[in-house]
Structure 1
Amino acid sequence: MVKVKVWDGFIRGYHWLQVSLLFALWYCADNGEMEWHFVFGYTLLALWITRFIWGFIGSDTAKFSYFIKSPKALIDYLTDKNKFDRVKFGHNPAGACMVLLFLALLATQLFSGLSSSDDILSEGPLAQYFSADTVSFMTWLHSVNFDLLLWAIGLHVIAIGAYKLKKQPLVKAMFTGVAEYKLVSSITQPKMMNGLVAWAIYAAIAGVIWWQWGHENLGYLFY
């Protein structure tokens, strides 16, 4: 077995921070803590934007060009009886589809949240730019899309369990950044970037978002 670095520090942090933020967003919304809901939402927005940028300039396994393949590649992978034995650093075609699905659902959730209103106290900063009917639709979409997110998360967990049964510990690799493979000496290993670069980008983006919107929510919470 050969150990290969497949996930940089940002991708690993992004994954687990995203999980934590989604739980925090759900908890705050369910308990009426809308100021905190917005704070966590802005944090997730900055994280999503950074992940999108990192998909073009980051490590090989983080780049969209590295793991996004054609629909035929997905079909070939799903019908391949030996797919669990194939060596593929990072996301396989099915995993790539899951990444795109999550990014799309999160983008929808974030934009709809920024554009929605509860017609009482809480209103997203973009709601002022839309008509009442559009805001009402965005509020509905924000609720429905979260249910879709939950279904996607469930599918993701099932897939992880399936790979675990095939002796491929995906969760461990997302913690350590390292995965073990057989017979990979002749295969070009992915190039890794320093995850601190992505975190610096994240800090800059988060700073702009907080300056533009988030300071009002933090001011309400702490003053």
Structure 2
Amino acid sequence: MVKVKVWDGFIRGYHWLQVSLLFGLWYCADNDEMEWHFVFGYALLALWITRFIWGLIGSDTAKFSYFIKTPKALIGYLKDNNKFDRVKFGHNPAGACMVVLFLALLATQLFSGLSASDDILSEGPLAQYFSADTVSFLTWLHHVNFDVLLWAIGLHVIAIMAYKLKKQPLVKAMFTGVAEYPLVNSIAHPKILNGLVAWAIYAGIAGVVWWQWGHENFGYLLY
């Protein structure tokens, strides 16, 4: 077996920070802590934008062009009885579909949240640009889409457990960035960039989002 660096520092941090923010968003919404809900939402928005940018310019295993395959490739992978034994650095075709699904669901959740309103105290900063009917629909979508997101997370966890049973510790690799593979000389190792570059991008985007919207919500928390 040979150890291969497959995940950079940003992708690993992105994964676990995203999990933490989603939990915080759910907890705050469920306990009427809407100011914190908005703060966490802005942090997740900046994280999503950074992930999209990193998917274009980042490490090989982070790039969409590296892991997103055609539907034919996905079907072939799902039919492959030896798929758990194939050497694939980063996301396999099924994992790539989950990445795309998560990004799409998160984009829907973020946009609908920025445009939602409870008609009493809390209103997203984009709600003012839409009609009352549109805001009502987006508020409904924000709640329904979160349920879909939970189902997707559950499916993701089941897939991780399946790979664990096949002696492929995906969770460990997402902590360490390193995975073990059979020695294969014919497959080029992925190019992994310094994740600090992506975190610098995140800091810049978060600063812009904070300046535009976040500071107002945080100000309420101080009183």
TM-score, length-normalised on structure 1?
A: 0.99
- Which residue number in structure 1 is paired with residue 167 of structure 2? 167
Per-residue CA shift, 1:16-58, capped at 9, x if unaligned?
0000000000000000000000000000000000000000000
Tell me the equivalent position of 2:58: 58
Cα distance, 1:222 vs structure 2: 1.2
Tell me the residue number matched to 2:81: 81
Letter in 2 for 1:78: L
Distance 1:115 1:12 in 2: 30
Q: How do 1:96-107 residues align onto structure 2 when only pairs under 5 Å count?
A: 96-107=96-107
Query: How far, CA to CA, are the matches of 1:171 and 1:192 in structure 2?
Result: 19
Q: Distance in 1 between matches of 2:154 and 2:110?
A: 20
Which whole-Å CA distance do the structure 1 matches of 2:175 and 2:186 have between them? 26
Deviation of 1:186 after TM superposition, in Å, equals 2.6
Mind listing any 5+ residue stretches in structure 2 that lack a counterpart?
A: none
How large is the RMSD of aligned CA atoms in angstroms?
Answer: 0.5
Output one character per residue of 1:174-219: Cα deviation in whole Å (capped at 9) or x when no partner. Answer: 0000000002233100001100000000000000000000000010
Distance, in Å, in 1 between the alignment partners of 2:180 and 2:222 is 47
2:152 paired residue number: 152
1:72-221 matched pairs, under 5 angstroms: 72-221=72-221
Displacement, 1:151? 0.1
Counterpart-to-counterpart distance in 2, 1:125 and 1:26: 19
Provide the C-alpha distance between the structure 1 equivalents of 2:222 and 2:94, rounded to a whole number of angstroms: 44
Q: Which amino acid aligns with 2:25?
A: L
Q: Match of 2:70?
A: 70
Q: Distance in 1 between matches of 2:194 and 2:184?
A: 23
1:133-184 alpha-carbon deviations (Å, 9 max, x no partner): 0000000000000000000000000000000000000000000000000022
Code of the residue aligned with 2:126 in structure 1: it is: L
Deviates more, 1:114-123 or 1:178-187: 178-187
Distance 2:167 2:100 in 1: 25
1:78-118 Cα offsets, whole Å, 9 max, x none, are 00000000000000000000000000000000000000000
Higher mean C-alpha displacement, 183-192 vs 112-121: 183-192
Q: 1:197 corresponds to which letter in structure 2?
A: V
Query: Which residue does the alignment assign to 2:7?
Result: 7
1:67 aligned partner, one-letter code = F
In structure 2, distance between residues paired with 1:94 and 1:222: 45
Query: How far apart in 2 are the matches of 1:63 and 1:184?
Result: 22
TM-score by length of 2: 0.99
Distance in 2 between the 1:181 and 1:193 partners?
Answer: 20
The one-letter code sitting in structure 1 at the alignment partner of 2:149 is L
Q: How many residues align?
A: 223
The one-letter code matched in structure 2 to 1:130 is F
1:49 maps to what in 2?
49
Partner Cα separation in structure 2 for residue 187 and residue 154 of structure 1: 32
Distance (whole Å) between structure 1 residues aligned to residue 134 and residue 68 of structure 2: 33
Matches within 5 A, 1:24-43: 24-43=24-43
Equivalent residue, structure 1, for 2:17: 17
Measured in 1, the distance between the counterparts of 2:76 and 2:220 equals 53
